[in-house]
Each structure stands twice: as C-alpha cells, then as structure tokens.
Amino acid sequence: MALITNFLVQGGQMLAVLLLAPLLTGLVRKVKARLLRRRGPPVLQPYRDLLRLIRKEAVVADNASWLFRVAPYLIFAATWVAAALVPTFATGLMFSWSADLIVVVALLGSARFFLALAGMDVGTSFGGIGASREVMIASLAEPAMIMVVFTLALIAGSTQLSTVAGYMMSGDVGLRVSLGLALVALIMVAIAENARIPVDNPATHLELTMVHEAMVLEYSGRHLAVIEAAAFLKLLLYVSLIGAVFTPWGVAQAGSGPAAYAVGVAAYVVKLAIGGILLAIFEIAIAKMRVFRVPEFLGAALMLALLAALLMFMTRSL
C-alpha cells in the first residue's frame, strides 16, 4: 500500500511540474505586461503556443545531423527528470534516494551540453554565438551553483534534497548569514541559467543580445515545442528549488495523510505564484546588462557562494 501511495505521489509530482511549468511562465509574462501597463497575453497562452507548435510541421535544415533532431528530446528528458526530483509539495518521494542536489546540477549540465551542441550543429553564425555565450555563462554559473550546494551540505549534513528540506523545517537552523548569502547566490545563478533579464532577454530576437534564443533559432514545429517546454520546466525547477530549500513550509512529510498533501499542494502553488510575481517585478525594475558584464555578475554570485561556504567554518560548535 505504501509503495502504491509513494508511486502515486511521485507520479503526481512529475505530472504537476509538467502541467504547472507553462502556467508559471504565462504568469510571469502577464505580470510583467501589466506592470508595463500593457494588457499582455492571457496566462494560458504558453499552453496554446505549445499545442500550436506541436501541430505544425517541423522544418529541419539540409545539413542537420541526427543530433539536431535528437537533442530536443534529450534536453526535455533531462530537465523533466531534474524537475521531478526536487521536492515540491512532499518530501520522501519514491525517487528521493536519488534526489541529490549534485544530480540535479549534473542533469541540467547535460541538458545545456546538448543544447549548445545542437546550436552549433547546423553551422549558422547565430547558433555559434549563442552556444559560445551559453557556455561562457555556464562556466561561471555552475561553480557558483556547486558552491551553494556545498554550503547547504555543510549546514544540513547532506546533499540530498529531502534531507536538506527536512533540516530547514526543523528549528535548529537558527539565524545564519551563510544561508542568506547562499540564497542570493542561488537567485543570481537562477536568473543567469533561465536567461532572464539582466543576463539575457527571453523576449528578444535582437542578435546582439540574445543567448538562449540564438541557439534555438533553427528549430521549428514539435522540436521547438519540446525545447520551449524544457525552458518552462527549468524556470519552474529553479523556483521550486529555492522554495524547497529556503522556504520549506507546508511541504508534506513522507507517509502523511491526504490532508497534509493538500496543504503541501496549496503551499506549493502559492510559493510558485509569489516566486513568479517577484521575478516579474525584478525584471521590469532592472536593465539588461552588456554580455561582457555578465562574468562580473556571475563572479559576484560565485564570490557570495564561496563566502557563504567559508563563513560556515565558523560555527558555534567550535
């Protein structure tokens, strides 16, 4: 019986992240538009975009290799698995034993690897600059992310996400400057990884500034739909990750009743909405920075995460 419940909860989570991801992106776009005094597309627009793209014919360049066609599915699969591992509304899921922060980082890293390869595959110049910029950003964002993971591991004594979330819920965390630094660093990494505004503009097709859009320029039809879905999932993943680690209130424990799961789902939806609204406010409040300033931005994230890990060595148990 417990096995079946676990299986159902895990399956529910996989479906939930898939279904909620376009909604989160739609919400961010809507809030941004309203704050700029535009009406903006409806919140459900990303679903319609995906459906339309799936029904359209996929046009592939003549010189595209098999990699170009396979890459979207690989990217989507890796991102989906990573998103399903993060404890969203319940901890102690069926795959919790593998829900390790380092696994999540590695899955996202391999998705990025295939995206950069696919960007370069057709041989257009846009794909090339997109891929090179993406890799430049990743080479700084990934160490910062790993340092955040180390800080959390030093605090909670584990890199396993459900253990970390459980530890954060228990009262013995206390007030820690390291956690604040890690949170800021993680937010900066999330902004860079999701191609949000100070680093990259998700709504532009201006070749001087785009990073993510440049890589997927050659894609169309169902391939593009899958890549877009992966991008939505990645945004949801980072918001859920920040929610699970830094605001784990309301998350249902393993083996609790249906009421706890209902509370967990409600809390999760509220957290997503708050995260999306905050992201939208942040994005309209700030200007896009030059590509050459991105290393400084991510260098600051790396520095904050490193400082957080260093300060952890000064603990009260000395």
Sequence-distant (6+) residues with CB within 8 A of 243 are 88, 268, 271, 272, 275
Does 37 engage in binding with other proteins (CB under 8 A)? no
Rounded to a whole number of angstroms, the minimum distance from the CB of residue 288 to other proteins is 19
Site string for other proteins, 288-307 (x = CB under 8 A): -------xx--xx--xx-xx
E strand or H helix that includes residue 238? helix 221-246
Token reading at 178:
């390291």
Does 314 engage in binding with other proteins (CB under 8 A)? yes
Residue type, 2: A
Residue 140 CA to residue 216 CA, distance in Å, equals: 22
CB 22 within 8 A of CB 229: yes
Choice between 203 and 310, CB closer to other proteins:
310
CB 33 within 8 A of CB 17: no
Choice between 83 and 304, CB closer to other proteins:
304
Strands (E), the chain: none
Does 174 engage in binding with other proteins (CB under 8 A)? yes
Q: Which residue from 61, 177, 203, 270 is in contact with other proteins, where contact means CB under 8 A?
A: 177
Rounded to a whole number of angstroms, the minimum distance from the CB of residue 177 to other proteins is 4
Per CB under 8 A, the segment of 56-64, 67-75, 126-134, 169-177 that binds other proteins is 169-177
3-state secondary structure of 252: strand
CB 281 within 8 A of CB 275: no
Choice between 170 and 317, CB closer to other proteins:
317
Rounded to a whole number of angstroms, the minimum distance from the CB of residue 175 to other proteins is 4
Does 316 engage in binding with other proteins (CB under 8 A)? yes
The residues of the shown chain that bind other proteins, judged by CB under 8 A, are 174-178, 181, 295-296, 299-300, 303-304, 306-307, 310-311, 313-318
